[in-house]
Structure formats: C-alpha cells, structure tokens
Amino acid sequence: MNPHAIWPPQVVTSFPLFFPLWPAISRLQASAFPDLPDWNRALLEQAPILVASGKPLRFVPQETGKLGFETQYEPRCYLQGEVQTRQDNWHDCFNALAWLTFPLSKAAINYRHYQSLSASEINTEGKSGSERGKVRDAVTLLDESGVIVACSDPELLELLQQFEWKKLFWLKRERVLASMQFYVIGHGLYEKSMQPYLGMTGQGLLLKVDPAFFTLQLSARLQQLDHRVADYVKVPSHCNSTREWQPVPLLGYPGWSEQNRLEAYYDNTAYFRSSRRASKG
C-alpha cells in the first residue's frame, strides 16, 4: 500500500482490529504519512515514555551496515532509548504506533531482548550475539504477531484454549461481544491487517479481567492492559517458549469479517483448526 496516500488510510480507521491505535493516531495530527518529527512530536503529547534503562524514548533514522553490539537495534533502544525507524515504511510506522499505545509492554519486550543478547555476547566471548534463543523467539512473536485477549468469562477462555472456534464465535457470539475483546499489540500483525486475508492469525496472551473492565474508557483499558503485559513479560520464567501464546484466528471475532456473519464461515477447518497446528500470522 502506498505510504504517500492520505493518512491514515481508510482501512485503519474503518477496520475495528485497529481500534487500539486510534488514540495514538489522533495525537499525531498528521495529514500525510508520518515522518520522524511527527513521531517525536507525538511523544510530547503524552507522559514521557522511558525504556527499561531509564532513558527517554525517541525515534531516530535507521542505520545500516555492520554495527557493533551497542549500536544494534535492540541494544541501542535499551541503552540510548533510540528506536531506529525507516522513512515511508509501514512496518516501522506500526512499530512506532505500538510504542505510543503500549509503552510499558514495548519497553519490557526490549529489555528481554537486551538481556538475551547480552548473555549471548558474554557466552560467545565477544562474538556476534545475533543468534536468537528461546526467549528472543517468544518475545519476537509477541512483538510482531501478539494479540492481548481480555476476557471476564472463564467459559469463553476455556473454549478459546480448546480451539472450539465455532462454539466460541458463533454459538456464544453475544457473550463474546460482551465479555471478550482482542487488542492487537504486534506491529507486524497490524501491517498484515492492511490487507486482511483468511488465515490471518494472532498469537494470544490471555488475560482475565473483571466485567467492569469493559465499561472503562479506551484509554483506561489500554493503560491497564499495558501494565499487565509488561508485568508478565518481565517475569524471568515467562517468555521462554513460543508455545506460551495461544493461536487466535482474528477474522473469527464477530464483525471483523463480513463473511463471519454466516454460520458456515466457521466450518472452514483450514482456518479454524482444532489443534496447536493452527496457522501462524
């Protein structure tokens, strides 16, 4: 999709999957595709965002070429608070929006990356620490394809965990709308959602919430979820396997596809799979 089209494009403002980003987009006040000054001005419109090292966040140009450890993407973000951002790039655009929307979670993810890379750097006695380990695989999947599943109904969570998609999204449809919401955090998944396709799947972190959660303003809901995801990610025993995340067929959520208004939509077992072999986003 052309990054020089009118900002924001219609799919971002009309497809409900993008709703967590709408407050951040409104603060941008941009009529064209955002550039670095736009992103850094947006940072001034909210409480300061700090990375785990305590450095204030800012967006900087992408560097290329062979980089030393401290200037690589994740270490530089942790050590300097600098998020390398490419111009006219949708992937980096959604990464910036995710930082503005889920700042604590993004900082926690960056911290786990930095910890893993630092350990690798020490263990290899100065050799490149670029190899991914289990922790980095897990936090990368959350960062790229993560979706927060907020739910106050234990039965619905059980159906989701058991891959009972038709029972969940069709037979319990009204309860899903009242007691379960999906909040995409993965910036790669947002990029894919610019052109949604059957098979698009998120990697879910399941969070139980009180029924009163759904009566809160969007900003309050986002803030609560941001704190909880950050707290989860920072626990050393968490994020040690990609299997911690629950595959979630996003286009099954009521109203997130025109086709899912029909019962037969949920009979597509290539998408609504019944095991952990569910397709990955």
CB 281 within 8 A of CB 145: yes
Instruction: Break the chain into its structural domains and give their ranges.
Output: 10-136, 141-267
The burial of 46, by beta-carbon neighbours within 10 Å (0-12 exposed, 13-18 middle, 19 or more buried), is given as middle
Distances (CA, A) of 271 to 146, 169, 199, 267, 281: 18, 13, 5, 9, 11
- Give per-residue pLDDT as tens, 185-195: 999 999 999 99
* Cα gap 162→275, rounded to integer Å: 8
Look at residue 58 in the predicted model and tell me its pLDDT: 97
Look at residue 276 in the predicted model and tell me its pLDDT: 58
Looking at this protein, which amino acid is placed at residue 33?
F
- Give per-residue pLDDT as tens, 65-84: 777 888 899 999 999 999 99
Look at residue 281 in the predicted model and tell me its pLDDT: 53
Predicted TM-score of the model (pTM): 0.93
- Give per-residue pLDDT as tens, 228-245: 999 999 999 999 999 999
